[in-house]
Amino acid sequence: MRILVIGAGATGGYFGGRLLESGQDVTFLVRAARAAQLARDGLVINSSLGNVVLSDPPTVQAAELRGAFDLVLLSCKAYHLPQVMEDMAPAVGPQTMILPILNGMRHLDLLDARFGPERVLGGQCVIAATLDADGVVHHLNQSHSLTFGERDGSRSERVERVLAAMSGVRFEPRLSITILQDMWDKWVFLASLAGITCLMRAPVRDIMAAPGGEQATLQLLDDCRRVAEQNGHAPSESVLARARGVLTEQGSALSASMMRDLEQGGLIEADHVVGDLLARAGQSAESLIMLRTAYAHLKAYEARRARRS
């Protein structure tokens, strides 16, 4: 299976690197600076689940991209998606599967409109990873699952092939027949985690140590849950119980990747992860005070960042 990984950043570098490590036919679509870095230093993954240095990993830049790939693993940030869709278009043929692992949901609509819904799988990953200034991928926790599936819930021959290509890799591949619900479940959790850790500029443990921190977190989770329910994707009680447990765990160092981006003064996926959820609440958005506050805070950060640069 010819696999094109879009971007060799935190998630693309990790999952693409693991696929390459296991002998799969992987090429990274990268921009010039990352191409030079990878040619010089290799793709370096630091992980408590196994370090690896992959020297001279196969890369391609947009202008050189020719011929269809079997699978495109899409791992860019949402704000880069319009340009990425232009750049990856030559790699998408009639049989190509596009597997996005972005947080949120809106990218599905954009990909459907550009490439046709029949080419777009559902997907998500659970991992905490970051790319440092030297281009090293740091895996920060013990999770590294990549879940994917047909959005109509079928176990098609093509997704079985993806699963087979991922067998034996050093991450957890999961073929799901409920991928849309899985994506909504993760979105509810992630929007809560990103919203609260950015708002409080702190990981979970410090929020739990603050008066009212737990209450604010649970209120935000409930706001996100209400939007999912309104859109026909209410999380189950067990999913919610797990989310509550993780979001309020005493002593937990967990924070969202959005908080890491924000603390570094970088771009953030405010509209994609939090704004789009609020937009899907329609008229009820008025009553979602914590979700609206979290979004207003992220937009204020963006406005300040834009003014300063």
Ligand X SMILES: CC(C)(CO)C(=O)C(=O)O
Would strands 137-149 and 172-175 be described as parallel, antiparallel, or unpaired?
parallel
Q: Pick from ligand NDP, ligand X, none: which does 10 bind, CB < 5 to 8 A by kind?
A: ligand NDP
Q: What is the largest CA-CA distance in the chain?
A: 57
- What is the nearest approach in angstroms of ligand NDP to the Cβ of residue 31? 4
User: What is the DSSP secondary structure assignment for residue 80, as one 8-state letter?
Assistant: G
Cα gap 123→174, rounded to integer Å:
10
Region of residue 69 (phi > 0: left; psi between -120 and 50: alpha; otherwise: beta): beta
Q: Pick from ligand X, ligand NDP, none: which does 101 bind, CB < 5 to 8 A by kind?
A: ligand NDP
Among 3, 4, 5, 9, binds ligand NDP (CB under 6 A): 9
Cα gap 182→149, rounded to integer Å:
10
CB within 8 A of 25, min separation 6: which ones?
1, 2, 3
Q: Which residues bind ligand X (CB under 6 A)?
A: 103, 126-128, 190, 193, 256-257
Q: Pick from ligand NDP, ligand X, none: which does 29 bind, CB < 5 to 8 A by kind?
A: ligand NDP
Nearer to ligand NDP, 131 or 216 (CB): 131
Cα gap 112→121, rounded to integer Å:
10
Nearer to ligand X, 128 or 281 (CB): 128
Choosing from 34, 77, 144, 186, the catalytic residue is 186
Any bridge partners for residue 54, and if so which? Answer: 43
- What is the nearest approach in angstroms of ligand NDP to the Cβ of residue 293? 21
- Residue 186 falls in the annotated catalytic set: yes
Contact between 76 and ligand NDP per CB under 6 A = yes
- By CB under 6 A, name the binding residues for ligand NDP: 6-7, 9-12, 29-31, 34, 75-78, 80, 83-84, 87, 101-103, 125, 127-131, 257, 269
